Structure formats: C-alpha cells, structure tokens
Structure 1
Amino acid sequence: MSIYTPNQKSIAESIQPDSGMQDWKNWHWQLRRTIKDIKTFEEVLGISFTPEERRQLEMTAEKFPIAITPYYASLIDRENWRDDPVFRQAFPSVNELITENWEMSDPLSEDIDSPAECITHRYPDRVLFHVSNMCAMYCRHCTRKRKVGDRDFIPDRDTLEKGLAYIRKTPEVRDVLISGGDPLMLTDSAIEWILDELSAIEHVEVIRIGTRMPVVLPYRVTEELAELLGSYPNLWLNTHFNHPREITDSSAAALRRLTSAGVPLGNQSVLLAGVNDCPYIMKKLVQKLVSNRVRPYYLYQCDLSEGLSHFRTPVGKGIEIIEALRGHTSGFAVPVYVIDAPGGGGKIPVSPNYVVSWSTNKVILRNYEGVICSYKEPDSYEPVFCDRNCETCSLVLNVTGEENPAAIGIERLMADYDDKITLVPEDTERLRRRNDDG
C-alpha cells in the first residue's frame, strides 16, 4: 500500500490538511497546488529566509517566476536545504539577477532560426516544434527563460497548424522534436492530435518528445498516457534528470510505465555548478538511469542564458567527468558532452583526446587507464570514388530511391564529387581588402 514519505506527508498536510495519497498522486492536484511564491515555499518546507534574503528573492521572482510542484519540493533535504541540489534547481537565487556581458535572452538564436510559428529549423533534416511554453516547474537553469511562464504565449491550434504546415511543405524534415515548455503539460487529447498530425506526414520518420515530467511530476505519466505514447511506433522520449536523488520510486515507476508501453527513453542532463559537477555524482546518475532503461544521451554545458553564470562550470569540468566515465562504466551509459554553440551553431561535442598522434600508416591511441597503443592502418586502401549518385552505385549498400541533399560544411570539403577546397567566413579582413582593391 502506498504511503507518504515524511516530507510528502508534511507538505501535503500543510497544503491541504484532509488530503490523502490519492490526492498526492493526482497530477492535476499537484499542478493546482504548485508553489508559486516565497511565503508559501517557507510555510510548506518549514524554513524561513531573513528579511533581506526575502526582499532579494522577491526581486528575482518578479523577473523569473517561481513554480515548484509539491512532489519536487518534497525531495529537498530540509536539514541542508541551502546546499541541496534539488533546492538549487527549483528555487530562485539572487544570482539570477546578475547578467554578464556575454549572456543573452536567446543564446541559441532559436527565434532567428524560426521560419514559421512554433518552429526552429537549424539542422538539415530535423526541426524543433514548440507546442507549449508552460512547465510543471520552472527550472532555474532553463535556457528558454524568455518564454517559460509567459501566459500570453500559449499556442492555440491555429498557431500549431502553422508549424505543422511548415513541416508538411519541407520534405527534408524527417525528425521532429516536440518541445516547449513541456509538451506533457497538454492534455492527452491535444498530445494525440499533434502526434496524429505528424504521423500523417509521409516524410516524418521520427518523432521525439522532450519532457521533464518524470523528474518533477512523475504522476503525469499515467497508464493512459504511456499507452497513448506507446501506440506510435516511431516515437522516442527524452527526459531531463540532473542528479541521482531525482530518481525516486515514483519517477522509476513513471519510467517503467513508458518502457513497458514500448517507448524508448533517453536523458539529457545539464552540467550545473553545485548540483552535479562531480564525477562521482554523474557516475551514480548514469548508472541509475541505465538500470531504469534510460540511455544517457547528452551532457550539456550550461548555456549563456541570462542569469545563469552561477550555474556554469569550466568546460574542463565536463571533460573531467567524461574522463571518469569512459572505461569506468558501461559504454552506453556515457553521454556525449556538448556545447550548444551560441548564435545557433548547434551542438558541438567536446571530449577527452584519445588520439595521441598519428602518421601515414599508424594511429597512436591511449585508453582510460593511460595505456598507449598503436593501431596499424592498411597499406593498400583503395577508396571507391563517390559521386553521390546512389541510384547507379554498384556497392551492396545501394540505397536506390533515397534522396541525397548536397553536402555542406566539412562534409563538402571531404567529398570526392565536389571541388570545394576551402570554407571562408564572410567579411574577413582579407576579403574586404580584395573587394577594396577590385
């Protein structure tokens, strides 16, 4: 029989004295009782701030609102709440009011790369589909603080149709990531409508949902929702666990509902100072994830969004963590450490250097232990010339019928069929001199 944890019981009774476990596990009940102000937070957690702290926190909350589910608040260690990783992710800090010169409201240039409402199209074959800007909880490290919590910008069906229309008319889009806010803030029927519309587009091969519900409100993942999501054979779901303490019995049950319904799961963590910037913590996290059938996907360097300087670590910390994972735990438990490049450059992988050196016929490598070895390359490799005309290709991997767009970027420089030998940034001093001379 399900019973409250001591923290859950205390919080539930402070919010609604006659509440029971059935109420606590009702996601609608949780949302209706979301903690949205400092006074309520103090009452519910049984803690208190000094008058000066309260004044500064109120200033922060005016700019970046508060929203904490009772469930997630119950994970906070009341004995050491100031240093608690859950508290730091959920509750405002006066440091959020510090905006460094290099910080931006839209560091990833998602708005600039938006060819239609609700759409960000950055990579060649996939788009981001923003279907809700509301979340069950407002994470303090959110890269989309400019949107989350803005109640004046909740896409209606007509607005979402404009995004769908763009996807329909853009045949190179084979992968759609449904994001927000949190898509699972929508009703089951609204989610089903979006998934049906995307599934009806012939060139959409993969649908992904990005959500933090299993972390901050696992009761949203009902049997009905899991069954709905599992009915789409090309659907993947990525969640966002940052610390092993977030993987509770309730969150594990939510993950189990999804995997039992046939939904493949991944996880995207953000590297956060004072939360998970520790090799031991990250190892525990990825191991607990894979034990719950969740594949660690990305470890993000914290973005250059406004007010996040106190969360950012040096890039070297992320490389140290990957160094402590690779070879020290299962390979499929090691996420890819990426920096989402400011200005819309996309995700750039960063990792320890395992190639020590190389020559014309050998590559010198080192492993996680520091063992250095040589790998002999073939002396007589004769590559097959590729003209990118797959329909006439004689190889056994012939992919007749597939359309192959022209190569771009580094891929173009490496291609056999293209005579491009350099990629030159626009408006360099050298080019300006050429234009002036001409």
Structure 2
Amino acid sequence: MSLETSYKASLQKVHQSFSLNWFIQLKNRISDYHKLIREINLTIEEQRGLLHTKFKFAVTNYLLSIIDKNDPNCPIRKQFIPTINEIKILPEELTTQKIQSDNKKNNPFLPPEVIHFYPDRITILLTNRCAAYCRFCSFKNFVGKEEYEITNNEFQFVLRYLKQHQEINHVILSGGDPLTLSDEKLEYILKHLRQISHIFVIRIETRIPIVLPQRITSKLCNILKKYQPIYLNIMVNHPKELNSYTEYVCHQLCENGIVLSSNTVLLKGINDKVQILTELFNKLLRLRIRPYQLLQCDIVEGTSHFRTPFSVGVKIIRQLRSQISWFAIPNLVVHTTEMSKSIVEPSTIISKTRNSVIIKDFNDNIFVYPEIKL
C-alpha cells in the first residue's frame, strides 16, 4: 500500500465530525471544560486542572481523535490536558518569568516581537496562537493572552532591525505557531526576509504536523518551496504522535525540498525512558526528520510535574550512544533560568549538588540550574 493510499485509508477511520479544512478545525478547537468532558473521560485531577488553570487550553478535533479517551496516562493526553499539578508554582519558576521580562527591558531598541540572545540569530514571535497548547510550553505567559498575530506594520519594524544588524544571518520564526497564520501572511513574511541578503537561514518552529496535519496543504508546500532553503523544526515528544497523517505531510514537505528536524522535550512520565526515545528517534529518521535537540523541560510556571532530574537526560543520551546510530541522537540542551543555553556534555557541567547543577553556557558564563526534587 502506498503512503498516500495508507493516508486516505486512515482518514476513513476518523469520526464523521473530523474536518479536513484546517482553518475550520483551528476555529472550532475545543477550548473549555464543558465541551471536553463530553469527549473524554476526565479524571478528578484533570477536571480540577481545567477549572483552575490560568493558562490557555485548546485541542483540535484531530488531536482529540488520537488521544486515548479512557486512559489518563496516554502520553499525548498528558501533554495537552491540564491537571491540578499545573496549579503548583515553585519560586524558581517565577524567577524565570521575571528574567524573561527583564531581558526585553535591557534592549530598548528591540522590537517587542523579537528575541535576540545570540549574536548571529533572532527569534521573531509572529503570533501567540497555537493549534493546541502544550502544558509545559516555555512561552506559557505569552500564549496565554488574547490571540495576537504580527501586523504588516509591526513586521516592517522587525525588518528595519534586521537590516541594521548585518551580523544576523539566521532567523527563527516562532510564536505560538507560525503555521497558524494564513498562507498570505506567511508568504508576505518569507518574501520580505528573503530580500535581505545577509539572511541565509530561515527556520520555522512548529507543532502543526503533530496537532493539525491538515494545515500542510499543497499551497503551503509551494509557498515554502518558493523561498528555499526553509528549515522546519517540528516538536515531537512521543512515538504515538507519529502516524499515517504525520507520515504523509512530512513526505509532502520533504518532496518539496523542505529540510525537517525535530525538537523533543524530556518529560517525566511521558518519554523519560531510553526505549521510548530510541523508538521515537529511529521513527523520525525514517520520516527524513533529523533529531536536533532533546530539551530539558524549561523552568516555567506550573511545570514541576513534567521536569526530570538533570541526571536523567545525561543518562539517556549516554545509553542512546550505545544503542542507536549517532546520526539519530540529538544534542541534550538546557536553558538556564537566565534564558541562556547550554549543550549538556562533560565540559559544560561544572559541579552538582543535591539542590542544583552548576553549568556553563555558550559564552562560558557560569549559571546555577535548580534541580527538581523527586
């Protein structure tokens, strides 16, 4: 059976209310407790989480179709349905939020949609809208606000900043999820970025192939193809997220010359076992997706139940190196509470105590990373 035939066969199994029109699915996301409880057998912990969380909640009908409605331990369900654990806020999580805010204030000439931590690259937050909201999101406070997308006038200020900083050669489009923007808005953005000669890498951070694969239309593929090279970095955290839908859309993207890579967040009770990540990274390679980063779950509000001890990721990478091709092994990466970044390897770990890990970032700055307590 061909990939396309398999894809079409799978479509027939989906519930009749499943809409193939991506925009309708996006518009009709399930975003409140009363609708969700009619679709899923929610636990008491999930019901309390949905009723009391201050962070935005939404899932697509597609995502709902691949969640196990009767198993609260479903690895997809645990990523998107809040529980009462989300209400627990640790002191270091509030500190991280303050540092993110302070970093913006330190550069008064930086457009509000831009993050410029590293000399040669910037991140542009094009929207705070996602097709579905991960409970461990690094930008929970940004995506939790009223839906927003960058206007053409605002983007012109970003372009002006880029033209003034010729040391920047790498632009990361993020959000929210950039692929929730219309085709017309995406083309406007890509067209103008490609007109800046010193920008040669355009990378799009997305979850769309996992949560709303219908968004990957032939029209979108043609737009991305027109402005190559385009790098699409897909967040995928568990092998169950990869099925005939994602296989088909990733095949379409690759056939149109889009380079695919992946980010995976290390999540307690979801993918913190070497067997799960071995299966995931091998599956990704078969789909022509290069595993790029295994991310230590960021220290953001209401995520302590997702975070693993620092040593878990180190051990998993060491085990992976003895079990699978190194081509399938991503870099283990941690963001410090100061929002710097470090690839975790022996040379970056200075020391460890019961309560913290001392690490170096890419500039050899020393940081204290708070250890999660079991």
| CA distance in structure 2 between the aligned counterparts of 1:56 and 1:213, rounded to whole angstroms | 25
* AA at the equivalent of 1:106: Q
Q: Structure 1 counterpart of 2:245, which letter?
A: S
Cα 1:230/1:170, change in 2 over 3 Å = same
CA distance in 2, matches of 1:191, 1:53: 36
Letter in 2 for 1:344: M
Match of residue 254 from structure 1: 249
Match of 2:141 in 1: 146
Determine the C-alpha separation between the residues in 1 that align with 2:13 and 2:144.
27
For residue 111 of structure 1, report the CA deviation from its aligned partner: 6.1
SS of the aligned residue for 1:24 comes to coil
Partner of 1:75: 66
Q: Is the 8 Å Cα contact of residues 110 and 120 (structure 1) preserved in structure 2?
A: no
Aligned to 2:113: 118
Answer whether contact 1:67 1:138 (CA < 8 A) is retained: yes
Using a 3 Å threshold, how does the CA distance of structure 1 residues 136 and 108 change in structure 2: closer, same or farther?
Answer: farther
The answer on whether the counterparts of 2:129 and 2:175 sit within 8 Å (CA) in structure 1 is yes
The corresponding residue for 2:75 is: 85
For 2:51, which of 58, 66, 70 is the aligned residue?
58
Secondary structure of the corresponding residue to residue 111 of structure 2: coil
Return the offset for 1:148. Answer: 0.6
In 2, the alpha carbon distance for the partners of 1:189 and 1:210 equals 18
- Check if 1:266 corresponds to 2:266: no
Q: Deviations over 1:66-95 (max 9, x none)?
A: 10011111111234x211111111101111
Let me know the Cα RMSD of the aligned residues.
Answer: 2.3
What's the counterpart of residue 329 of structure 2? 334
Aligned residues: 342
* Gap change, CA 1:241 and 1:111, over 3 Å in 2: farther
Q: Is the 8 A contact 2:333 2:343 kept in 1?
A: yes
Could you tell me whether the CA contact under 8 Å between 2:47 and 2:83 is conserved in 1? no
Aligned counterpart, 2:204? 209
TM-score normalised by structure 2 residue count: 0.86
What CA deviation, in whole Å up to 9, does each residue of 1:280-302 have, x standing for no partner?
00000000000000000000000
Say whether the 8 Å CA contact 2:129–2:148 is kept in structure 1.
no
The corresponding residue for 2:294 is 299
**2:335–2:342 Cα contact (<8 Å) kept:** yes
Cα-to-partner distance string for 1:100-125 (whole Å, 9 max, x where unaligned): 01113637727614622211111111
Tell me, in whole angstroms, the C-alpha distance in 2 between the residues paired with 1:137 and 1:159. 25
Could you tell me which of 343, 347, 351 is aligned with 1:349?
343
Post-superposition shift, 1:241?
0.5
Matched position secondary structure for 1:109: helix
Deviation (angstroms), 1:217:
0.5
**CA separation of 1:133 and 1:48: change in aligned 2, threshold 3 A:** closer
Cα distance in structure 2, aligned partners of 1:280 and 1:53: 27
From 151, 157, 165, the counterpart of 1:162: 157
Which residue matches 1:229? 224
Q: Kindly tell me: are residues 166 and 159 of structure 1, through their superposed partners in 2, closer, same or farther at Cα, counting changes over 3 Å?
A: same
Segments of 5+ residues of structure 2 without an aligned counterpart are: 348-361, 368-374
Q: Residue 96 of structure 1 contacts residue 307 of structure 1 at CA under 8 Å; is this kept in 2?
A: yes
CA contact (8 A) 1:302 1:311 kept: yes
Deviations 1:235-275 (A, max 9, x none): 21100010000001001111111100000110001000111
Q: Structure 1: how far apart are the matches of 2:33 and 2:269?
A: 22
Q: Name the SS of the counterpart of 2:246 in structure 1.
A: helix
SS at 1:83's partner residue? coil
**Alignment partners' CA distance in 1, 2:183 and 2:277:** 33
CA change 1:331–1:130 in 2 (3 A) is: same
2:212 & 2:293 partners in 1: Cα distance?
22
Give the C-alpha shift of residue 34 in structure 1.
0.7
d(CA) in 1 for partners of 2:261 and 2:57? 27
What is the alpha-carbon distance in structure 2 between the residues aligned to residue 101 and residue 7 of structure 1? 46
Distance 2:169 2:222 in 1: 24
- Label 1:152 to 1:218 Cα distance change in 2 as closer, same or farther (>3 A): closer
- Quick one: which of 187, 192, 197 aligns to 2:187? 192
Report the equivalent of 2:14. 8
Largest Rg, 1 or 2: 1
1:205 positional shift: 1.3
Task: Find the aligned partners of 2:58 and 2:65 in 1 and give their Cα distance.
Answer: 14
Shift of 1:3: 4.7
Structure 1: stretches of 5+ with no match in the other structure: 13-18, 354-407, 411-422, 426-438
Task: Quickly say closer, same or farther: Cα 1:111–1:223, change in 2 above 3 A.
Answer: farther
- Cα separation, 2, equivalents of 1:334 and 1:34: 34
Residue 92 of structure 2 aligns to a residue whose secondary structure is: coil
Aligned mate of 2:88, from 95, 98, 104 = 98
Asked which structure has the greater RCO (Cα within 8 Å, sep 6+), the reply is: 2
Letter in 1 for 2:170: D
Q: CA deviation at 1:54?
A: 3.0
Q: Distance in 1 between matches of 2:204 and 2:88?
A: 32
How far residue 169 of structure 1 moved from its aligned partner, in angstroms, is: 1.0
Instruction: Within 5 Å, give how 1:26-45 maps onto structure 2.
Output: 26-45=21-40
Q: Partner letter of residue 86 of structure 2?
A: E
Maintained 8 Å contact 1:286/1:333? yes
Provide TM-score, normalisation by structure 1: 0.74
Q: State the shift of 1:127 in Å.
A: 0.5
Q: Which amino acid aligns with 2:212?
A: L
